[in-house]
Amino acid sequence: MYSAIYSKNKDLEMLFIMGATDLILVVVNLVFNLSPIWFKRILLFVFGLFWSSLFLFFFITGRY
């Protein structure tokens, strides 16, 4: 989430996702690589928020 807010536009243009083997990851990779900078920032922030929320849920409930 930090990189979505504070990174430079040039760094976000050079960012790419490697190792997409699943169809969903391929679609997300294509959307991410072909989208404008503002949409990349939103995607990075939402993915970071989702990942941290998921970690917090499992940390609090104790489920694995």
The string of pLDDT tens digits covering residues 3-53 is 667 777 777 677 666 666 778 777 877 888 788 888 888 888 998 999 999
Backbone angles phi, psi at 14, to 5 degrees: -85, -10
Number of domains in the chain: 1
pTM score of the predicted model: 0.65
| Burial call 5-19: b when 16+ CB within 10 Å, e when fewer | eeeeeeebeeeeeee
Q: Which domain holds residue 47?
A: 2-61
Please write the tens of the pLDDT for every residue from 47-57.
899 999 999 99
Residue found by looking up tokens 């490697």 in the block: 18
CB 43 within 8 A of CB 30: no
